[in-house]
Amino acid sequence: MDLFSFDKLGHAIAYGTLTGLYYWARFKNIGVVTNKWFLYIAIGTTGYGILMEIIQYTFFPNRYFEVLDILANIMGILVSYLICKFFFLFDKSREEGEAPKISGF
């Protein structure tokens, strides 16, 4: 079991995308996503990933609970945070109360 296998890359991409979509939904609804919301979303998506591993192990024969899958999920969540922070969600250059400006969307 390798942390850098295609399976783990798939986990990271899936959970990174899930996290990014949560950020985008929060951003579109409120107009701002703070570090506090990153923590809430990260805890929620990590919890979801752990729950899916437990369900997979419990209800599906020949499937296993893998800690490396959870680590890959968390890596995807963190990469999504960094991408979102870099591009649009944590724009510190705007005035307080002003809606963030997103170019290209």
Mean pLDDT of the chain: 82
How would residue 84 be classed by pLDDT, with cut points 50, 70 and 90? Answer: confident
The Cα–Cα gap between 7 and 38 comes to: 25
Q: Is 97 exposed, middle or buried (0-12, 13-18, 19+ CB in 10 A)?
A: exposed
Give residue 101's pLDDT: 53
Per the model's pLDDT, the better-predicted residue between 91 and 6 turns out to be 6
pLDDT digits (tens, 9 = 90+) for 4-44: 789 899 999 999 999 999 988 887 777 767 778 888 999 99
pLDDT digits (tens, 9 = 90+) for 46-69: 999 999 999 999 999 888 889 999
Give residue 98's pLDDT: 56
